[in-house]
Amino acid sequence: MSARRVHVLNGPNLGRLGSREPDVYGSTSYTGLVQRCTELGKELGFDVEVRETNDEGEMVRWLHEAADGSIPVVLNPGAFTHYSYAMRDAASQRTAPLIEVHISNPYTREQFRHTSVVAAVASGTIAGFGIGSYALALRALAEELPD
């Protein structure tokens, strides 16, 4: 049996992990994030593809691709979380679980970060566990998806 495809989609500025505000986002680089997600994915029986974009339209296209292929998604929308209704509408078309993740806890930060337009259409949200938020999301998918 082949591994189940899972997309880990990252929004703006996440490609700068390790150098961008390490006191907020930690010291793990984007390359380290990709490695951790793909390795854990293999352990869980997933073929994980990690992507990052600063382009809202590209994120919408990726969410459409996942919906069309019934591909589960771990989504860190970055700043799109708070205002991208286009991304929210694309996420609402999901045909497989979609878990919203955040490295930091948005509710302990600036007021504008307290609102997620994605949360209402996601299967669930995991936030505040650093890069570990991704691992928790992948493990949640492993629990939720049928064998």
CB 11 within 8 A of CB 53: yes
Beta strands 4-10 and 46-52, pairing class: parallel
85 assigned to active site: no
Question: How far is it, in rounded angstroms, from Cα 64 to Cα 136?
Answer: 24
102 assigned to active site: yes
Burial of 71 (0-12, 13-18, 19+ CB in 10 A): buried
In the annotated binding site, the residues are: 76, 82, 89, 103-104, 113
| Ordered strands of the 4-10 beta sheet | 46-52, 4-10, 73-76, 98-102, 124-127
Residue 50 CA to its chain's centroid (Å): 9
In the annotated binding site for substrate, the residues are: 76, 82, 89, 103-104, 113
Q: Which of 7, 25, 30, 107 is catalytic?
A: 25
Pull the structure tokens for residue 119: 């949360």
Q: Which of 102, 107, 114, 134 is catalytic?
A: 102
Positions marked active-site? 25, 102
